[in-house]
Amino acid sequence: MKITFPKFVSSDDELNITYNYRCELYQRHVKKIPSGYVITEFLPDVPWAGIYNTISCAASHHFREGRWMRDPAPLTDYARFWCSEGNPRLYSFPIADSILALSKVTGDFSIGVALYPKLKEIHNAWDDHMVDCGMYTQLCDRDGMELSISGDGIRPTINSYMYADKMALSLLAEYAGDHNSAERFRSEAKKLRNDINERLWNNNIGMFGVISEEGQMRNVREQIGYIPWMYGIPNEGKDSSFRYLLDESCFLAPYGLRTADATHPEYRKHFDHECLWNGPVWPFATAQTLTALITYLQTQK
């Protein structure tokens, strides 16, 4: 299927080349399957993928980037796929928020309403990752962020995703006429937002951080500390953490943004693994951080 993105032209030739490259690359990842289309994360088949070489880890990026296609059919197929054949819980994935992001561009909320019962089921299944305080725990590997310095535990990643999905589901529930569930999701989202602000904010480092499985706050600045801003979660007074993005001793590297603070003793600690989130630059993380920054700049008072 030939896909078409909006034409983009600016006075910056490098930006124009990058945009056109992204459009071309996205086209390569649109894959035809018997039930329609999916978006792949890797062009070659990889053993950790699911059916049709799909991986839920980067699916939210696929929706956010692909929602600007002139024809939304591949992504509506993709949404149906994750609610039928795919495994949306293999990795952390804010599926309801991702589908809602598509609908906000197209103006057509019918796909989210049609899939609402399944989206609700998928979201409720994440209760198996909930701990006594009502927050969610996740392995860094299942965030697609293997061997992070912060490690496993109550992470800003999955908790931000669950907040976003609760907010998305509250809206879809209203459209579907499930008003009781809409109120429940809003109430749960409000509590989770408060918990993220109160429990995951680390005053020692001036960023959101991870509570380890042993209940200790990990004192390391990582790009995942910006993810709450993607969804408008942080309270006022926490935006000073953005100063670390332009700090060459912290995140700012010669060719991008490091995933972790370069001054931390475990920065780029050696592991025999091809994917390390303890310092190297990853476009996945950069996209999240830039989205968080854009959201902050667009919504700050």
Six-digit token pair at 207? 């960023």
pLDDT reported for residue 1: 80
pLDDT reported for residue 17: 97
Q: Is the distance from CB of 105 to CB of 175 less than 8 angstroms? A: no
Query: How far is the C-alpha of 123 from the C-alpha of 53, rounded, in Å?
Result: 23
**How many Cα atoms are found within 13 Å in the side-chain-facing hemisphere of 157?**
29
SS3 117: helix
pLDDT reported for residue 86: 97
pLDDT reported for residue 301: 63
Six-digit token pair at 23? 């459009």
- pLDDT tens column, 241-282: 999 999 999 999 999 999 999 999 999 999 999 899 999 999
Whole-number Cα distances in Å, 111 to 64, 72, 106, 174, 181: 16, 11, 11, 14, 18
The pTM for the full model equals 0.97
pLDDT reported for residue 2: 86
Provide, for the chain, the percentages of residues in helix, strand and coil under a 3-state DSSP scheme, each rounded to the nearest 5: 50, 10, 40
Q: Is the distance from CB of 31 to CB of 42 less than 8 angstroms? A: no
What is the residue-wise DSSP string for 142-171?
GGT-TT-SS-SEE-HHHHHHHHHHHHHHHH
Six-digit token pair at 165? 């999905």
Return the amino acid letter for 126.
W
Instruction: Please list the rounded mean pLDDT of every run of 10 residues in the chain (301 residues).
Output: 92 97 96 97 95 97 96 97 98 98 96 98 98 97 97 98 98 98 98 98 97 97 98 95 97 97 97 94 97 93 63
